[in-house]
Structure formats: C-alpha cells, structure tokens
Amino acid sequence: MTRNDGPQKVDIVTRVLAANDRIALENRKRFAADSVMVIDIMGSPGSGKTSLLEATIPRLKETSGTGVIVGDIATARDAWRIALQGVPAIQIVTENFGGACHLEAGTVAEAYGKLDASAIDLLFIENVGNLVCPAEFDLGQDARVVVLSVTEGEDKPLKYPLAFHEADLVLISKCDLVPYLDIDMDSLLENVCEVNPRVDKMVLSAKSGQGMDDWMAWLAARMKMSGKMTS
C-alpha cells in the first residue's frame, strides 16, 4: 500500500474550491441585483463576533435594514442572540452539512433564500469560529472582516496569515481588557501590517463601546463605495 495518492487529493481540493467560486460569483450577482451589501465576519471561537453584531445592530436601526446569517458547527444559540435584536437571523448548522468548519457559498445561497432581501441593505455573515479555512471559501461578500481579540496574543496574524491576508478590515476586539493583559498592542498591529500592509485596522470594545464609532463609519463608507445605498 505505497500508492501515492497526493496529486489526486490536490485535484479534489482544487475542484471543491472551483465549484465554490462559481456559486460565490452567482451569490455576488444576486446580492448586487438585490442591493444588499454583504460583510463576512471571520475569527476564532470566542473572538467576539456575535457580541460585535449585538453592539452593531442597534446602531444601524435608523439607517439600514440589517440581516444576519450565522454559521456554527452546532446549535442555533447565536441566531437566537441576534434575533433578540429584532432583525432577521438565519442559522446555518454546519454539522448538518458534514460538520464543516467553515461556510461555503452554496450553504450561504440556501440561507439567503430564506431572507426577505427587499428589507435588507446590509447583510452580515458570521462565519464559523475558525481562523483557518473560512478564508479559503469566497461567499460572494463585498468585504471581509477579521475579528481578533486582545486575549488571543500578538502572534496570531503571523500564524494564520491567510485570514489576515484576505481581510479588508481587522478589528482588534475586547480592548477594554488590555489593562489586565501583557499584550503588546504595537507589535500586534505590526504583525497585522506584516501580513497585509494595506488592510484597515481598528481597536474596539463591543462591551465598553470604545472604537464603535470608527467601525460604524467604516461600514457607512463601505456601503457608499459598494453603490448599494438604497436610501
């Protein structure tokens, strides 16, 4: 049994990604036709993705119709948390799709079909908590945001470069905890720059509200840039 099946495996991975990219392209056209701006939020489990959305949604109430698609391996807990904010939230439980540790364009397309797109200007996709493979799968989004909490350490951008490389914005979350940690914020931000020199960076706390205005301004600017402003 010394058969070398390496190249065949590579073929399969290439085909899966190519199939995903085709569906992502269809998603992108559909989002454009519906004038829905889509932000994919990536980050480790516990980085504060859902808390960020809980703090963001009330601030958008006046200006945009918001919807959320949430991916988790198990449970609909995050969709329930989001639904409490009074916006439509669709949970994708990836264990029903073979326990995938990331979202794919096809599962997003299916979840999107359950939303009333005419009521939505801004759709957040909270990806499965994972800093590795979500970045490999284009979902058809307008922009990608990586949430990295100050508790995760300065070295994560260097250890998980793809997610940071693919990001349009890196949000350093839970900054209210900095006084209790040994984290070196300068070196953390330098490490982000080293992987992606052009990426936007912000430091915020969903809990204290610090930095939230910058994040809201970034979203508004992105909305304008996307040409998907409906009002």
Point out which residues bind Zn ion (CB under 5 A). Answer: 101-102, 133
d(CA 80, CA 58): 16
51's contact among Zn ion, Mg ion, none, with CB below 5 to 8 A by partner kind, is none
Least gap, CB of 123 to Mg ion (angstroms)? 16
228's contact among Zn ion, Mg ion, none, with CB below 5 to 8 A by partner kind, is none
The dihedral sign for the CA sequence 80, 85, 86, 89: negative
Nearer to Mg ion, 35 or 85 (CB): 85
Is residue 224 exposed (0-12), middle (13-18) or buried (19+ Cβ within 10 Å)? exposed
Q: Which stretch binds Mg ion (CB under 5 A): 60-68, 71-79, 113-121, 164-172?
A: 71-79
Joined together, the tokens standing for residue 184 give 């070196």
Least gap, CB of 89 to Mg ion (angstroms)? 11
Of the candidates 34, 78, 104, 154, which one interacts with Mg ion according to CB under 5 A?
A: 78
Of the candidates 44, 50, 64, 205, which one interacts with Mg ion according to CB under 5 A?
A: 50
Diameter of the chain measured on Cα atoms:
64
Segment holding 67, helix H or strand E: strand 66-72
Residue (of 163, 221, 205) closest to 56 by Cα position? 205
In the complex, which residues of this chain contact Mg ion (CB under 5 A)? 49-50, 78
